[in-house]
Structure 1
């Protein structure tokens, strides 16, 4: 039997894709590494730190004192951000010192045997967790086992190996000018806003063109996808908050870390509320399509009630346009009057259409259940428009962030933007 017959089609497709990627990387190495520059930079930092730690251990301690443990400490120390690197390094040093002291005490009191080894490992793991050493809690029993196996003279060498490795890792991370990840977090926040805008636009098109329970179920799945994208944006913002702390770029400029991240935090709060409210609107439409919650179950009555929701499509389309403008604000993190104008125009259009949709829905009489659903949906859409309002809404910080940079005026311009003129460079 040939290989084509033995291998499943998806395996052959994956192997062909891998082979194509390898050929592209061989022909265009720089272009292939560009999307992975963060991973490449992190790899280079780790390799440099390990090399420096090895050389420092050889020069200061000698080749006979197991210098391999110094680059091992550097390997475990270097992280994506300076703050996490320093925290990991201090935890590692604390765990090694604690383990060395515990091993020296055991050697003096009871010697090395199976009972003392088991007792020491269990006790040291418990103490490491009580001291909140995190992932470095295992350094305590590892150090105990190394000292017990090599003897008491190795304890100070183990401590110096760790100090040298941690120092090399911190210095390399500081000198490499690590990124702050603020732009990365803004990109994820904008991506979440675009996904919510896509949901609103699809729902608007469906309400205009006709929809059923299968269509509304697809809308709900897309809302769940947008919620997961919001979670990723929150994690990226937390990484940016950590990346700013102790970062030499921000320390040199004297920038307040909170001022850089307040727009992102406020934007995520706004998008979280909008996601919940849009999900509530779409769940109400899904109940209407399925005839649940005492809503019309007969096919004709249900179809007529669904057709009555067509004016809501204009409101959701305006909400989608507003979310797209909001995404551009979060992505750029620069005070741009054009983005704010697009947002306010979309919201004004949404308010006008919301008034028309409310009048149309209130004029329909399909029983108390449908009236209650209409009231709930119109109230939720009104709340979405209020959340995104840059003038009277609850999240002005997200809509008017402080700029990271001020664009230079174009040649030939006679007027300058007053907002840009008052902004800090």
Structure 2
């Protein structure tokens, strides 16, 4: 059958002869179409690669987003903090900042500032804290010979100095913690007055007036006009429970409240007490160092109204010295484990969960937050708070897989479209 059909076609071709150059012209036209298709496939591949390179890091929160984070303060917090370097230097007016984290950088530490959307900048290392709305950064003295505090407005770029050589008559004491008032009008800091009295001090940022308070440690603000301090009766090594002092900044009146401990304080010999106040001023949190033979840090909650111990929770790998933040009535505790990125854990009665993932490339520790950022909730991120390594490099891994597949697909398509035998004239 096949032989007879071929013979019939040959007879038909002989009856209707084809010009000798028609086959050559047809082949040339087909070759041009194939070349155009190959160029199109190549352009698509290049476009996909370029799109992945530009968009991938943005979706991974590893580079600045296109849109601005806005003004007027932070309203959310990032779920992912990407890597940053000295090439990403912070501008004079970066706008509101939601978080800051320190990168050890092989002994050359620097600070990473993070916007609500996850945009990161590198800045010289500072020991400081963000205002509640994230629009100002207060910096503590960086050396023993320095006695001043500085407040930088991150929106306008304005810089103001406080201390003996600045707008106030006091000396800041070393690398100590700072707590902002809820309205951002004043700060609680450890300092020493010109007369030599040392202790917790409230600094009014508008007037520069500094007021030394009673107590050994500053804890925080119950509200915009009441500040809370803590002390141990009879000295730091005394066996009596800590005493909470609330001072009204308008009248100067103060009242003491002895904490009612369910169990004796297990860190009596430590040099200080790490404490924090909830945003509404109703809860006092004391962080107790691990007892002998234990690895967990105890979080003990007390009522600021009657001193009753209300609850106790625990975490491991607490980053001591880094300030605790809050989301509602639950603390956000900074954690750090050797060889791992810094973490921030929301510790609730049901358990603890991470609220941020930090890029493993960073030698990070001590994540600090602007209070309004945490109150506003998380900013959406592609992989949320997942710390899996592939979530930081998903677009690079996708390219490694996609490019060979595209090339293979193009080659197979070309093979199907190419005749096996080139026609002759």
Q: Could you state the TM-score of these two structures normalised by the residue count of structure 1?
A: 0.22
Q: Structure 1 or 2: larger strand share?
A: 2
Q: Could you state the TM-score of these two structures normalised by the residue count of structure 2?
A: 0.22
Larger radius of gyration: 2
Q: Structure 1 or 2: larger helix share?
A: 1
